[in-house]
Structure 1
Amino acid sequence: MPVSHMASEPADHLLVPFASASDPACRAVLQGLPLPQLTALLAELQPAHTDSDTDHSLSAPHERALARAIGLVRADGSAYPDGLLPWAAAASTQPHTPQAWLSPCHFQVGMEQVTLLPGEQLGLTDEHARPLFDALAPYCAEDGITLRYESATRWHASGEVLRGIACASLDRVSGRSVEAWMTDSSANPAGGQLLKRLQSEAQMLFYTHPAFDAREALRLHPVNGFWLSGAGAIDHATVLQPTPTLPNELRNAALQADWTRWKDAWIALDSGNIKNLLELVRRGLPVTLTLCGERSAQCFTNAPRGAVARAGRLIKNWLGNAPAWKTLETL
């Protein structure tokens, strides 16, 4: 049951993660943000699909939008339930096997909360990650989970116990309190309990590992745990569509709450990818734009307009185009 990807190029589709964020500091930066190309582009497009939830859903809007864009759906064509998007299986040559991503991280214990710092923010390299992986792998094997080292910041896990475990994506928990995201999976309660036990074992194992002291000596955050995400399996033959263009600059800045860098990234995106998409629209070519915040994702296209849509377009021209930031603050 392989998951294959189409070789043909997709219609031009720009999918923008963290086009907006819930942080009040981001909202303050967003108001009045000059995005002339995006304003002009939105005036040429029509809403095609809106996916709304809360900013505490397990799967982030940009992940749900990406799954929809590439056709990562269940056998009956419906979307996967919250927290059950099988990203690791989708990237595998054996997608019928339950799999997940295991991300080494640092849990920062504060007075009132525990905050997760992912490997990317720890400057984690093979020098420290590989020994920790080698130490944890036998413990996972005892519970029927096979670990494979993919990179310093992402390890691959496979095993039947990973089937049906709902888990929050790493983009949801990075830089945030993890308490709201520590959920049990009703589809696989035994697996959820096993995962909690394995996380506790990893915490003790990593704390006594030489890599822990080595990183502290370098004044680096030590790795003291891991986060599981993208768990599950694909139980039907699936042909995935080509992946849309996914700029990461906004995401990277947002996950570190660097709103000055986030603003600069939006201005650069507006004069780059957004401008290019606008030029395609003006040449009469089909395009898709998906803007994703932390609560919802809105998809826009330049599908052929009917009489009502054309009339609406004339009215918009007469009244003037609403600035793009007003659309972004609804996400």
Structure 2
Amino acid sequence: MSQITLVLPFALPFPEFAPDLVRALEAPALAALLTRTSSHARVPADDAVRALPHEQWLARALGLQQAGRPAFAAAAMRARGMQQEAGTWFIVNPVHIEIARTHLMMGDPARVRLDERESRALFDTALPFFEEAGHALRYGDAATWFMRADDWAELDTATPDAALGMDLTDWMPLGAAAAAFRRLQNEVQIVWHAHPVNAAREERRLPPVNAFWAWGAADAQRQGAAGAPALVALEAGSTVGALAGSHAAVLPDFGAPFDADAIVYCGGPAPHAVGADWGGWIGQLQQLEAGLFAPILAALMKGRVRKVSLVLSHRDAHAEFTTTALAQRSFWRRPTLDRLL
């Protein structure tokens, strides 16, 4: 038997909305998983790390940290079967930056929806500028490229999900190499501004790709922690979609025993919470109640899974809950969702 850890970013409701949301949510299996536990804890985010709480948790769980920050680039390249030269590599996401009246704000990278042809064309246009700056650039997929920048190893970057919807003044790269990064960014922005790809996208009312976001710096030789569980993403996302070795189009089948420990990442609630769509957030959790929480609770009680952990988060903290079949027999603990408060 194995241990399954469910990671659900933004499934922990924001404190100001939590009482009303918890009253509206009907999820008895989730309530049992949260209430009848062998351990639980709530952990505030480390403000010195420019990443969301669940990203910080994943970096620790997988052993992918560098200078205390998530170091995902090398693992993301290996997940794609890419060869990497020795040195420091960054994940690079082509993004759309919105110019508001008083500040800059990054649009959701998942909504850029670049196809392979568009991404290749923008990549080819940007490549000479990266090479002139002394940085190799490698194509991973339409949403994910990789840059080698050994002299930028100390650059303090933020994950794109952490910067999403925020004033970018507070989230741009920091450190001695920040000025060099801005110069490269400006050069690429100029050539992309009038690029035929962006002209065609604007005709289709799609956001133009007018910047790139670099993050997740890691030494090419960085391996994850020995014996770290496999990571499965139920959908692609700007962080875990780049990192996961496998993706599942449907929820896992908990009807058969799991052979090895696994971290199952489900980002479904996140866009609803970030967009303050609380009706959609409740609907998403109700779907997960039927498709994920109830089946995994049944698998636990039937001995197909040895232990279940849940990692739920919002922007400021994450909560961890661990349960076993023995803990679920604590009948005197009435299942409740109050631990979401």
Give the TM-score band, short-chain normalised.
0.7 to 0.9
Mapped to 1, the partners of 2:307 and 2:217 lie a distance apart of 34
Distance of aligned partners of 1:87 and 1:275 in 2 relative to their CA distance in 1, 3 Å threshold: same
1:87 aligns with 2:75: no
1:294 aligns with 2:315: yes
RMSD, matched Cα: 3.0
1:34 aligns with 2:26: yes
Distance of aligned partners of 1:146 and 1:236 in 2 relative to their CA distance in 1, 3 Å threshold: closer
CA contact (8 A) 2:33 2:323 kept: no
CA contact (8 A) 1:71 1:241 kept: no
Query: Which residue is 1:216 aligned to?
Result: 202
Mapped to 1, the partners of 2:298 and 2:282 lie a distance apart of 23
1:106 aligns with 2:118: no
Distance of aligned partners of 1:73 and 1:212 in 2 relative to their CA distance in 1, 3 Å threshold: closer
Tell me the TM-score normalised to structure 1 length: 0.79
Code of the aligned partner of 1:63: E
Mapped to 2, the partners of 1:263 and 1:91 lie a distance apart of 32
| Offset at residue 96 of structure 1 (A) | 5.5
CA contact (8 A) 1:117 1:175 kept: yes
Tell me the TM-score normalised to structure 2 length: 0.77
SS of 1:91's equivalent in the other structure is: helix
CA contact (8 A) 1:162 1:232 kept: no
CA contact (8 A) 2:301 2:325 kept: no
Mapped to 2, the partners of 1:124 and 1:200 lie a distance apart of 21
1:327 aligns with 2:312: no
In structure 1, list runs of 5 or more residues that go unmatched. Answer: 1-8, 75-79
CA contact (8 A) 2:45 2:318 kept: no
Mapped to 2, the partners of 1:24 and 1:180 lie a distance apart of 24
CA contact (8 A) 1:100 1:162 kept: no
Q: Which of the residues 162, 165, 182 maps onto 1:196?
A: 182
What are the superposed Cα offsets for residues 200-220 of structure 1, whole Å, 9 maximum, x if unpaired?
112212113222222222222
Query: Which residue is 1:116 aligned to?
Result: 106
| Offset at residue 24 of structure 1 (A) | 5.8
1:265 aligns with 2:284: yes
| Offset at residue 198 of structure 1 (A) | 1.3
Q: Which of the residues 128, 136, 144 maps onto 2:126?
A: 136
Distance of aligned partners of 1:247 and 1:95 in 2 relative to their CA distance in 1, 3 Å threshold: farther
| Offset at residue 184 of structure 1 (A) | 1.0
Distance of aligned partners of 1:130 and 1:118 in 2 relative to their CA distance in 1, 3 Å threshold: farther
Distance of aligned partners of 1:50 and 1:144 in 2 relative to their CA distance in 1, 3 Å threshold: farther
Mapped to 2, the partners of 1:148 and 1:112 lie a distance apart of 35
In structure 2, list runs of 5 or more residues that go unmatched. Answer: 79-83, 232-262
Mapped to 2, the partners of 1:201 and 1:23 lie a distance apart of 42
1:242 aligns with 2:239: no
| Offset at residue 195 of structure 1 (A) | 1.2
Mapped to 2, the partners of 1:203 and 1:22 lie a distance apart of 36
What are the superposed Cα offsets for residues 31-87 of structure 1, whole Å, 9 maximum, x if unpaired?
54222211111122133554312679511111111122223356xxxxx52xx2110
Distance of aligned partners of 1:58 and 1:255 in 2 relative to their CA distance in 1, 3 Å threshold: same
CA contact (8 A) 2:89 2:220 kept: no
